[in-house]
Structure 1
């Protein structure tokens, strides 16, 4: 099985529109992946969208709101 290497450069900013997976969010997040997951569970971080069993992404608009004020952010109830 071939190994997968990351050849694309990391974006210096998070796009305003669209969806992002954890690896795209990671450079901008002051939290570890596990802490971010815990914040999602408690509704204090943007809720993920599951596209499949192994593909989860987050709305970039909600991520921008979250990163602007993480202490006062509250996820929308759907």
Structure 2
């Protein structure tokens, strides 16, 4: 999967949303990545309540 394809999936809510820790460090929730891996076609990002 290309970087641009992943970016489009994230933007559309069909892939886990990244969390920016620093300018050069982006991380993803392990739980969300595993949910996405179980069903990539049916995945919908959950909103994070603060």
TM-score by length of 1: 0.57
Q: How many residue pairs are counted as aligned between the two chains?
A: 48
Q: Give 5+ residue unaligned stretches, structure 2.
A: none
Please show how residues 1-78 of structure 1 align to structure 2 within 5 Å. 31-78=1-48
TM-score by length of 2: 0.85
Q: Give 5+ residue unaligned stretches, structure 1.
A: 1-30
For residues 74 and 56 of structure 1, what CA distance do their matches in structure 2 show? 20
Larger Rg: 1 or 2?
1
For residues 33 and 57 of structure 1, what CA distance do their matches in structure 2 show? 15
For residues 77 and 59 of structure 1, what CA distance do their matches in structure 2 show? 13
- More helix per residue: 1 or 2? 2
Query: Cα deviation per residue 1:16-50 (whole Å; 9 max; x = unaligned)?
Result: xxxxxxxxxxxxxxx22211111001111000000
For residues 34 and 61 of structure 1, what CA distance do their matches in structure 2 show? 23
